[in-house]
Amino acid sequence: MAWTPEGLVGDPQQARDSLQLLSRFLEQVLPDGLPDLSNLALDPGQVYLLGFSQGAIMSLYLALTQPEKLAGVVAMSGRLSPEILAEAVEPERMKHLAILAVHGTADAVLPIAFGRQIRDYFAPLPLNFTYREYEMGHEVAPESLRDIQTWLQNRLDRRDSPMKA
């Protein structure tokens, strides 16, 4: 991403290249990727990506384009670019996802409008979506971190419970 007189501009090819790296990494650590080391393989039903700023952008990009590789995403102070949205799969493929998006109301790097764009995009989709705003800038405040921890722990506890839905 770069700041221009027109505002924040992303590099779509660089984002695609990064997405391919992230996707290949997950393929390597998911069960089919480690045939000789299956005891080290991850359960895709328990893979959550957590990203801040550019990490949030990339985590959401993977969720939108390859949702089967994830159980969910925590997106902290991110944004959705038109290029990413243009590549999104049909919402039905995302129905198993849980997404938590958090954003600071005083964020001067990625203003709150970007967080609200994430909220407006995901809220109507058929998935488990939570959005929270905090009185903070482009940072991770203790309150947001506590909420993230609780949200993630609730999902992992539910996954481990014998009463799975």
3 within domain boundaries: no
According to the model, what pLDDT value does residue 8 have? Answer: 55
Instruction: For 62-75, write each residue's pLDDT tens digit.
Output: 999 999 989 999 99
39 within domain boundaries: no
Query: Total domain count for the chain?
Result: 1
Average pLDDT along the chain: 84
Structural domain of 57: 44-160
Q: Locate tokens 């995302």: which residue?
A: 94
According to the model, what pLDDT value does residue 42 have? Answer: 63
Please list the residues that pair with 49 across neighbouring strands: 73
Q: How confident is the model at residue 165 (pLDDT cuts 50, 70, 90)?
A: very low
pLDDT surpassing 90 at residue 38: no
Please, are residues 108 and 138 in contact by the beta-carbon 8 Å criterion? Answer: yes
| Percentage with pLDDT > 90 across the chain | 61
Mean pLDDT of 110-123: 98
pLDDT surpassing 90 at residue 155: yes
Burial of 5 (0-12, 13-18, 19+ CB in 10 A): exposed
According to the model, what pLDDT value does residue 157 have? Answer: 85
The CATH number covering residue 150 comes to: 3.40.50.1820
Please, are residues 77 and 56 in contact by the beta-carbon 8 Å criterion? Answer: yes
11 within domain boundaries: no
How distant, in Å, are the alpha carbons of 15, 43, 86, 149, 160 from that of 154? 31, 17, 32, 8, 10
Instruction: For 46-105, write each residue's pLDDT tens digit.
Output: 889 999 999 999 999 999 999 998 999 999 999 998 888 999 999 999 999 999 999 999
Taking the CA atoms of the chain, what radius of gyration do you get in angstroms? 16
pLDDT surpassing 50 at residue 30: yes
9 within domain boundaries: no
Please, are residues 75 and 99 in contact by the beta-carbon 8 Å criterion? Answer: yes
98 within domain boundaries: yes
14 within domain boundaries: no
**Per-residue tokens: 157:** 């506890």
